[in-house]
Structure 1
Amino acid sequence: MKSVKRILLILLVILAVLAYINYPKLNIISGFAAKSMASNQFIAHRDLEAVKANDLNVPLIKLADVEVIEDGAAAAVYGLMERDAICRDGMGCVLINDDYDPNRYDFTPKRTHKETGLPFPYGNNEPKDTLFANVDYQQLQKAVDGAFANAGIQKTRTVLVAYKNHIVSEKYIDGFTKETPILGWSMTKSILATLYGILEFEGKIDLNQPTPIASWQDDERKDITLNHLLRMQSGLAWDEDYSSISDVTRMLFLDADMTLAQEEKEALAPPTEIWNYSSGTSNLLSGILRGYFDTHQEYLDFPYTALIDKIGMYSMLIEADMEGNYVGSSYGWASTRDWAKFGLLYLNKGRWNGDQLFDARWVDYITKPTLHSDGTYGAHFWLNAEGKFPDVPKDLYSANGYQGQYVFIIPSKDLVVVRTGLAESPEFDVNHFLSEIIKALN
């Protein structure tokens, strides 16, 4: 009997330790579930059961019980650690805490929606029915279909191929259409960087000047420039681990002001000595961006007036944190066609239907490999400079996002390819996918 009691006591101790260790994770789990459901319901207008069966059907997250409420969603794990996400007009959905005051920020970005009557990409009418003699459409269809094969593994949702500014192929799974906004995750970083390219083109910033952050001026961080931040080579500490309670998961699912997480980190090395991918850096850049404007309203309007609405990405919405800062690291939504417009803007070196949005040399800047990134990273864009994808041209660069969201730009082929889904390498083979598309261009 004594031995049985000892065993039971040991088991209770083990369970108590496990509960103590894992209880904080419930905050992240229920936060992810509530935020994802709210945004998918109120931005993408997707079926609730489809979101549960796919977007939330991942380890740990699927433990959450989630429900849609009047203006958002709520989630908890076995009744514990309930989190609420609410949605705001023009600002997207946000996880809230007990300090949330719905009247504190009563701002909405001003949007301008102009129907040009033009076909895609310079308007929202259907693309021209164009046939290119050098395109093997049978091979192209085979390549696109291949991205949807083994659906339970590859988990592709949408694909669009644009050649010489024309859509030559696109495909969607059930539940997604050409109008459905899709979360780009870290593709949003490339949108954010483009805003800096526009400011530089307008002569309003110098990327090589130290950042205007007061808390850095009395220590070694004072030498960090905007260029260092855009290239993820600031030397600041950051842990980008989505499988645990880390810097990035705390920021995205616990912080009311996401611009501060990276600002408060210590320097591990002088700028340029290390390369460390950091979503905190992108949100810090979003906070710095806000400082360039006299009012909060001007900051909220800028991404839309200077870029998004200017190129007709009317489905796009960038969500803001509880303090009204754009979550430039992760929370940009847009339809597949609108993500393609962003790629085409870069393919055309910043020129859009007669307007120059940023200097053509900005493309050279964002595609220049960053030291210590092994040729895979430029300035908030990913690169193929060292042949990571061996069967794809080395001039490829891309906006990449969690779970395999991609906008690929291949200038030497006049090509933009968008792929969205719920799986990335190795389940989704980018090299094979792109090389099969390129085979269709003779």
Structure 2
Amino acid sequence: MPIPVLRRLLCVGVLLLPAAASWGETWPERDWASRPVAPSAALSEFETYAFPARDDGTRQGIRSDAVVVIRDGELIYERYAGPTKVSTPHLTWSMSKSLLATALGVAYGEGRFKLDEPVAQYYPAFQGHPSVKLGHLLNWASGLAWQEDYEYAPLRSSVVAMLYTRGRGDMARFVAEHPLDAVPGTRFRYSSGDSNVLAAALKQMVGAPAYADYPWQAVFQPLGITSAVWERDASGTFVGSSYAYMTARDLARVGLLMQRGGRWGQQQLLPTAWVEFNLTPFANYQADPAKPGEAVPGGHWWLNRHLAKANKPWADAPESTFAALGHWGQGLYVLPEQKLVVVRYADDRDKTYQHNEFLKRALAAFAAPEVQP
């Protein structure tokens, strides 16, 4: 057989192999390969913390709805509580922001925008803020005078007004009406408003006809996610800050994508430069000494990074740990060195739950001995 023909046949053969065989890795197909972790004292201690007796009357204390753990592409632990089941698309709250960043990453790889371009180029309602760039929004550094207060201060809260009252019809336009009180890119201020402006900008990036299906075509379908629901406001814009839903198993697929550097099987779904941006601390971030457990902002993901004047937020987790986080205790934790992805859905209504304590016990229970820190 001539060498060129043989070479072509070999290439075809490689393309036809499943990703797990060609890369020597396990990837979920319709469902996860399952290899449950053996019972242990460390597992018992983890469950004692994550799933204490549940008080649905007062809604106090730690109230995990679901925990799913993936190690090296395999499902090794799963438990549900309250009304949540394996098939329940759970509200992700602000983990939606990291899902939005993932969809934007695909658009970035398609050449639809650049980080240093003005937001107004893709969202005309932002023309009053010509100095705000797309990268500023992704770092929550727009400079807008925004108040991210929740149920404890509803009267002055920008986010409550956006989601529930005068801003709910067109959330991005409501955000655009806020003035600046800082130079864009110079100050971190967590803002669900920044995220919803990005969701509106995505509409022009991909075109209105494609927008309604874009998260599914760009991210969910390639990853095999079938449970996703994403609410839109009355203007048709995805509520990128808050209102995506999916099962814990499906959310774990996004974690595995990020754990493996934006690659899904043989496809580099997210450009490596985009993942690097997601996982780079915002340069002008100043840690608040009064909030030692607060994660470091990256590009719409949260990081466990040690900074010049601050220790890493989660002392017992590796510095490479990063996460998508949401209101009332939602967490998608990625620990690349341990090849772990941990999904936690919850209904925490107080501040009892601590990321570091959860991660410390998760590492003891689920990290393979040869890669434990």
TM norm. shorter chain > 0.5: yes
After alignment, is 386-395 or 397-406 more displaced? 386-395
> Is this contact kept in 1: 2:303–2:323, CA < 8 A?
yes
The answer on 1:228 being equivalent to 2:136 is yes
Is residue 2:299 matched to residue 1:379?
yes
| Compared CA separation, residues 137 and 341, structure 1 to 2 (3 A) | farther
> Hey, what does 2:111 align to over in structure 1?
203
Shift of 1:275: 1.0
Q: Report the CA distance between 1:429 and its aligned residue.
A: 2.1
Alignment of 1:37-436 (within 5 A): 121-129=27-35, 137-152=40-55, 153-211=61-119, 212=121, 213-217=123-127, 221-243=129-151, 244-245=154-155, 246-254=157-165, 255-294=168-207, 296-370=208-282, 371-374=284-287, 376-386=296-306, 387-423=312-348, 426-436=351-361
Could you tell me how far 1:373 is from its partner in structure 2? Answer: 4.6
Which fold has the larger relative contact order, with Cα–Cα distance below 8 Å and residues 6 or more apart in sequence?
Answer: 2
Spell out, residue by residue over 1:185-216, the C-alpha distance to the aligned partner (whole angstroms, 9 max, x if none). 00000011112211111122111112214455
Kept in 2: contact 1:347–1:409 (CA 8 A) = yes
Secondary structure in 2 matching 1:196: helix
Q: 1:68 matched to which residue of 2?
A: none
Kindly tell me: are residues 137 and 160 of structure 1, through their superposed partners in 2, closer, same or farther at Cα, counting changes over 3 Å? farther
Give the AA of the match of 2:203. R
Deviation of 1:269 after TM superposition, in Å, equals 1.4
Distance 1:312 1:347 in 2: 16
Native 8 Å contact 1:315 1:338 kept in 2? yes
- Could you tell me which amino acid in structure 2 is paired with residue 351 of structure 1? R
Question: Which consecutive residues of structure 2, in runs of 5 or more, have no partner in the other structure?
Answer: 1-17, 21-25, 56-60, 288-294, 307-311
> Kindly tell me: are residues 414 and 179 of structure 1, through their superposed partners in 2, closer, same or farther at Cα, counting changes over 3 Å?
same
CA deviations on 1:329-368 (whole Å, 9 max, x unpaired) are 0000000101111111100111112221111232221111
Q: Is the deviation greater in 165-174 or in 222-231? A: 165-174
Q: Deviations over 1:97-116 (max 9, x none)?
A: xxxxxxxxxxxxxxxxxxx9
> Would you identify which runs of 4 or more consecutive aligned residues in structure 1 move more than 4 Å?
135-138
How far 1:172 moved relative to its partner?
Answer: 0.7
- What do you get for the CA RMSD once the two structures are aligned? 2.2
Matched-pair contact (CA < 8 Å) for 1:237–1:268: yes
SS at match of 2:296: coil
Deviations 1:242-270 (A, max 9, x none): 12132111110122111112211111111
**Residue 334 of structure 2 aligns to a residue in which SS?**
strand
Per-residue CA shift, 1:221-257, capped at 9, x if unaligned? 2121110010011111111111213211111012211
Give deviations 1:107-141, integer Å, cap 9, x for gaps.
Answer: xxxxxxxxx9x9x852223524377xxx8855235
Q: Which runs of 5+ in 1 are unaligned?
A: 1-115
SS of 2:226's partner is coil
What secondary structure is seen at the aligned counterpart in 2 of 1:169?
A: strand
TM-score of the superposition, structure 1-length normalised? Answer: 0.68
* Partner-residue secondary structure (3-state), 1:228: helix
Paired with 1:125 and 1:289, the residues of 2 have a C-alpha distance of 30
In structure 2, distance between residues paired with 1:352 and 1:346: 9
Q: Report the more deviating stretch, 204-213 or 401-410.
A: 204-213
CA contact (8 A) 2:139 2:299 kept: yes
Give the letter aligned to residue 220 of structure 2.
Answer: I
Equivalent residues, number:
320
Contact 1:210 1:224 in 2 (8 A): yes
> What's the TM-score once normalised by structure 2's chain length?
0.80
Question: Residues 231 and 373 of structure 1: is their aligned pair in 2 closer, same or farther, counting only changes over 3 Å?
Answer: farther
Given the superposition, is the C-alpha separation of residues 424 and 309 from structure 1 closer, same or farther in structure 2, using an over 3 Å criterion?
A: farther
The CA distance in 2 between the partners of 1:393 and 1:136, in whole Å, is 24
How has the CA–CA distance of structure 1 residues 202 and 300 changed in structure 2, closer, same or farther, with 3 Å as cutoff? same
Give the SS at the match of 1:416.
Answer: strand
Counterparts of 2:262 and 2:268 in 1: how far apart (Å)?
6
Mark the structure with the bigger radius of gyration: 1
Q: Is the 8 A contact 2:34 2:76 kept in 1?
A: no
In structure 2, the residue corresponding to 1:178 is in which secondary structure?
coil
Secondary structure of 1:417's counterpart equals strand
